[in-house]
Structure 1
Amino acid sequence: MEDNFRHQGKRKLLVEKLKEKGIEDSAVLDAILQIPRHLFLDSSFEDHAYQDKAFPIAAGQTISQPFTVAFQTQLLALKKGEKVLEIGTGSGYQTAVLCKMGAKVYTIERQHELYKKTSLFLKKLGFRPKYASFGDGYQGLKEYAPYDKILVTAGAPFIPKALMAQLKVGGKLVIPVGEDPQIMTVLIRKSQKSFEKETYGEFRFVPLLEDKN
């Protein structure tokens, strides 16, 4: 699992590109600078790893383009030590970014093939989320709630009530909502019963799968 000067140089160029596109959070940029994204892709895609593109991974899923990862993470406004629920572990790249930024990460993946592969791979790279689970993202992980932040990395036709319920007062839920494209949506929990909603434009994600367990 090599990470050489050529890879590191490409990451520096990628970070400059993300800055040009409006990513300002230095902790997000630093995590992307440090994490070897090429290791999260099939080796045949290595030359494309530091382009700002999404690429296919196992089980018909994709690894999100770096800008999307950076944009969603920046929207979280993450503080070190916060408890984050990630819906859609996928390749594990977004999980690694959250771990690198010092979050306590709880992550759930619907595709069993990906769950097994990614759980082992993250450990090999030294990233250890607090808890990784195979299950239905629409249900969240109630047993570890509440969370400071919740990040959904697949397109949901609606905002699951279970995820809203598992968010702390003052916490943020970042989720792409809709069919195709989705609207990047942020919910901020203002009280037990009230939420403030913000939207941040169109994105395209693979769909969030439901009721498969």
Structure 2
Amino acid sequence: MRTIRRGDALAELLYQEGIRDQRVLNAIAATPRETFLPDTLKHKAYQNTALPIGQGQTISQPYIVAKMTELLLGAGNAPKTVLEIGTGSGYQTAILAQLFDQVFSVERIKSLQFQAKRRMNRLDLHNIAMKHGDGWKGWPSKGPYDAIIVTAAASSLPEDLCAQLKDGGRLIIPVGNEQQSLLCVDHEDGELKTQTVESVRFVPLVAGELQ
């Protein structure tokens, strides 16, 4: 008898919500979301909702994870390297690691970074490099990148991150304070072209305050 993964049902739900990239759906289905949650919330792992993970942070709603990943993969240059700003629980990181050759992830809260690194090892995902640092500054020494994803809302578009995009690269980022929008920023022929995707709700991208 074939074992039915709980992630398959979540992937089917996301398909119904409009996610169409089969690579993304397969990664969602294969990733045990309960691994990234505290014991008291594991029973909610396959609900399509954001959940708290401590330190004032959240694990994003699966739909948003899938949508942002789908947008990243839609960049015109078949992206291979991605910079993630905000490792958090590591859930988004794990999805990216299944779809990109190399993932570079920056987290300002050391304890979250440590937990995420242990989870990556348990899941046998080894194409990830992590840094404890200020997400507003990115990770310039490893760039430029084919794609950049930001998992917290910036008050404005970070210039340092835009500068770390390759020509043909794509940045997916929520921007705003009370009202937030998910932006898709393409670097084409030396210019940035920005498109608003949809309204979202993220914790703020904090500058300079490492923990």
TM superposition score category, shorter chain reference: over 0.9
Question: How many Å apart are 1:103 and its aligned residue?
Answer: 3.2
Correspondent of 1:46 among 31, 36, 42: 42
> Counterpart in 1 of 2:168?
170
- SS of the equivalent of 1:57 reads strand
Q: Measure, in 1, the Cα distance between the counterparts of 2:183 and 2:27.
A: 23
Q: Does 1:20 align with 2:16?
A: yes
Q: Does 1:76 align with 2:54?
A: no
The runs of at least 4 consecutive aligned structure 1 residues that moved more than 2 Å come to: 78-81
Question: How many Å apart are 1:191 and its aligned residue?
Answer: 2.1
AA partner of residue 74 (structure 1): E
Q: Measure, in 1, the Cα distance between the counterparts of 2:130 and 2:39.
A: 25
Instruction: Note if contact 1:95-1:129 (Cα within 8 Å) is conserved in structure 2.
Output: no
State the Cα deviation string for residues 21-41 of structure 1 (Å, max 9, x = none).
100000000000101111111
Q: Does 1:37 align with 2:33?
A: yes
The answer for unaligned runs of 5 or more in structure 2 is: none
State the Cα deviation string for residues 77-133 of structure 1 (Å, max 9, x = none).
268770100000000000000111133100000111111221122112211244100
Q: Measure, in 1, the Cα distance between the counterparts of 2:203 and 2:195.
A: 22
- Equivalent pairs, count: 207
Range 35-44 or range 76-85, more displaced: 76-85
Quote the sequence identity (%). 40
Q: Measure, in 1, the Cα distance between the counterparts of 2:139 and 2:170.
A: 16
Q: Measure, in 2, the Cα distance between the counterparts of 1:121 and 1:58.
A: 16
> Counterpart in 2 of 1:209?
206
The answer for unaligned runs of 5 or more in structure 1 is: none
The two structures, once aligned, show a CA RMSD in angstroms of: 1.7
Q: Measure, in 1, the Cα distance between the counterparts of 2:145 and 2:124.
A: 23
| TM-score between both structures, scaled by the size of structure 1 | 0.92
> Counterpart in 2 of 1:55?
51
Trace 1:1-213 onto structure 2 (pairs within 5 A).
5=3, 8=5, 10-77=6-73, 82-192=80-190, 194-213=191-210
State the Cα deviation string for residues 49-99 of structure 1 (Å, max 9, x = none).
001011110211000010010010011126877010000000000000011
